[in-house]
Amino acid sequence: MPPPIEKWRKRLAALLLLGEATVYLLTARCALGIVPFRHLTRWMERRPRQPELTGPDRQRAVQEVRRVIFQIWHRSPLPTTCLHRAIAAQSMLRRRGVGTTLYYGAATRPVGKLKTHAWVQDGSEGVVGHLIARQDGYQVLACYPAMHL
């Protein structure tokens, strides 16, 4: 059994992560409402400034961010879209030294309607939104940072 101080440290770390994700989601939501998209793409194109994490540290960072974004999405009254969540997840991971790709795609629906979706991948591993993208057959329209499709 971990000592009480360790238990409190873990709780504090979880609360700080939740707070960080909330701030990033609110920032993404505000930015999408007031900043021209062409300026936002510059933010999504950025790479981590520090050396990239690898191995278990990278996997742990991706899992933590995925978990907290999912937690806020399902339990918070804060309404978010897939693009808000994708920008927040990508930004949080970049800050941790994990370079990811944000994808923006579209799929046609019955009656010829077009639906769009955003998701984040760390290489071939999905971070957020990837399950819906795969399930509903979204085709990539753009990715940030840009790569040859």
Q: Is the pLDDT of residue 148 over 50?
A: no
Q: 122 pairs with which residues across the strands?
A: 125
Spans of all domains in the chain:
4-144
The single residue listed with the structure tokens 């077009």 is 114
pLDDT tens by residue, 51-79: 999 999 999 999 999 999 999 998 888 78
Torsion over CA: 70, 75, 81, 85 (sign): negative
The residues, any chain, with a CB within 8 Å of residue 115's CB and separated by 6 or more, are: 106, 107, 108, 109, 136
Q: Does residue 86 contact residue 101 with C-beta atoms inside 8 Å?
A: no
- Where helices occur in the chain by DSSP H, the ranges are 4-34, 37-45, 55-75, 82-95, 130-135
CA 70 centroid distance within chain: 10
- pTM for the complete prediction? 0.90
| Other Cβ atoms within 10 Å of 81 Cβ, number | 16
What confidence tier does 44 reach under pLDDT thresholds 50, 70, 90?
A: very high
